[in-house]
Amino acid sequence: MIEIEAPGRLLLGLVTGVLFGFFLQKGGVSKYAVITGQFLLRDFTMMKMMMTAIIVGGAGAYAMHSMGWVNLTIKPMLMGGVIIGALVFGVAMTVLGYCPGTAVAACAEGRKDALMGVLGMIAGAVVYAEMFPWLKSTVLALPDEGKITLPGVTGMPWWIYFAVLAAGAWLLFRWIGRKGYDHGGEA
Amino acid sequence: MNVLNKKRWSPYLAGTLLGVLSWFAFLTAGQPLGVSSTFVRAAGMLESTVAPEHVSANDYFKATKVKLDWEWMIALGILAGAFISSKMSKEEKGEAVPALWAARFGPSPGRRMLGAFLGGVLLIFGARLAGGCTSGHGLSGSMQLALSGWVFFACIFVSGVATAKLLFRGGKS
């Protein structure tokens, strides 16, 4: 039997997901030209959106964490899994033109290629599960550095990171704008 | 004109709202936004209908339990939310073969569908190897200042830019 979580929690997930999908679609990242355009360094929509979300979301999450309201959930730094997985992911994201979340959003826009991508992802999960024992003894057997954070490694307080990120992002996007590299919104 | 009916919002506005949404996720669900494990659970559910013993014996499906959970509803919600958003802005139906792809690989829908399918296979393979996708690692990991999140972010950019330069070399620029 398939396990099902409590209805209240499922409803909460649905509400969160609806807003997530709404913001992704309005932000424009459910389009092939925007995602692939980012990797061609011609459309900086995705990077602007992600950096803003990271700074706003992160500063809030850390502030709430310091008040004891929320727990942080840090994923382990698997030297093999994260690096090799992300390199594969980057290739795939450029070919498909969507990431897992934005592929679902693109399906909602009636994009058939995104639907094929979603079917591919389900097939990919089956392949992954079959290959898991082998992966565990190879790529995933490489060192696991554990659930480490940048403030944990450097000892510098969290707010410095967000201040530097915000200043860096502002300068970077201003420079990109002045140079005329960003053709976002044209596609 | 109503802001909800606009086709595009500034990426800074959309990003700010995503950031605030992630506070909501931390506060109400006790976990950050993520999507990619849903594809594993969906695959497990489908596979369970034909080979239940095979699924229950698999180590990966033991670790990523086949269940209907909060993250599953996130994926369903994205579908609904993006649908509502695109209807409200009267978005034209998306083309099957994106113009950028067609300019390089030709207008064949079959070739695009095959490329998208194989891209999807590799995408989830990479995401599960890394332990998260653009949401779980890229957004949620990076905002928690996790080293894994930033390494993921940097690696997808390096390989994405390299792939884009190789694939679209000689294409329309």
- Asked if the model's pLDDT at residue B92 lies above 90, the reply is no
Which pLDDT band holds residue B63 (cuts at 50, 70, 90)?
confident
Which residues of chain B lie closer than 8 angstroms to A153, CB-CB? 147
Of A5-19, A163-177, B45-59, B72-86, least confident by mean pLDDT is B45-59
Report yes or no: A49 and A27 within 8 Å, Cβ to Cβ. yes
One pLDDT digit (tens) per residue for chain A, 187 residues: 678 999 999 999 999 999 999 999 999 999 999 999 999 999 999 999 999 999 999 999 999 999 999 999 999 999 999 999 999 999 999 999 999 999 999 999 999 999 999 999 999 999 999 999 999 999 999 999 999 999 999 999 999 999 999 999 999 999 999 999 898 865 4
Residue B1: the pLDDT is: 62
Report yes or no: A120 and B123 within 8 Å, Cβ to Cβ. yes
ipTM for the whole complex: 0.95
Which positions ≥6 away from B84 have C-beta within 8 Å? A18, A21, A22
Residue A187: the pLDDT is: 42
pTM: 0.95
Query: What average pLDDT does range B110-120 have in this prediction?
Result: 97
Measured CA to CA, the distance from residue B42 to residue B66 in angstroms comes to 8
- Asked if the model's pLDDT at residue B170 lies above 70, the reply is no
Q: Across the interface, do B17 and A124 touch by the CB < 8 Å criterion?
A: no
- Asked if the model's pLDDT at residue B172 lies above 60, the reply is no
Main-chain phi, psi angles of B67, to 5 degrees? -150, 160
Q: Is A149 within 8 Å of chain B by CB?
A: yes
Main-chain phi, psi angles of A144, to 5 degrees? -110, 115
Q: Is B155 within 8 Å of chain A by CB?
A: yes
Measured CA to CA, the distance from residue A99 to residue A33 in angstroms comes to 13
Nearest-by-CA chain A residue for B43 = A122
Q: Is A89 within 8 Å of chain B by CB?
A: yes
- Asked if the model's pLDDT at residue B87 lies above 90, the reply is yes
Which residues of chain A lie closer than 8 angstroms to B117, CB-CB? 116-117, 119-120, 123
The residue that leads in pLDDT, B172 or B146, is B146
- Asked if the model's pLDDT at residue B64 lies above 70, the reply is yes
Nearest-by-CA chain A residue for B32 = A73
Which pLDDT band holds residue B173 (cuts at 50, 70, 90)?
very low
Which one of A5, A39, A121, A148 makes the best mutation probe of the B interface by having the most chain B beta carbons within 10 Å? A121
Average pLDDT, chain B: 93
**CB burial readout A152-187, b (16+ within 10 A) else e:** eeeeeebeebbeebbeebeeebeebeeeeebebeeb
Which residues of chain A lie closer than 8 angstroms to B3, CB-CB? none
Point out the residue among A4, A31, A124 whose CB comes nearest to the CB of B120: A124
Listed as own residue / partner, the contacts of B45-53 with beta carbons closer than 8 Å and 24 or more positions apart are: B45/A2, B46/A122, B47/A126, B48/A2
Residue A185: the pLDDT is: 62
Residues of chain B with pLDDT > 90, as a percent, come to 87
- In DSSP notation, A93-123 reads HHHHSS-HHHHHHHHHTT-HHHHHHHHHHHH
Residue B81: the pLDDT is: 98
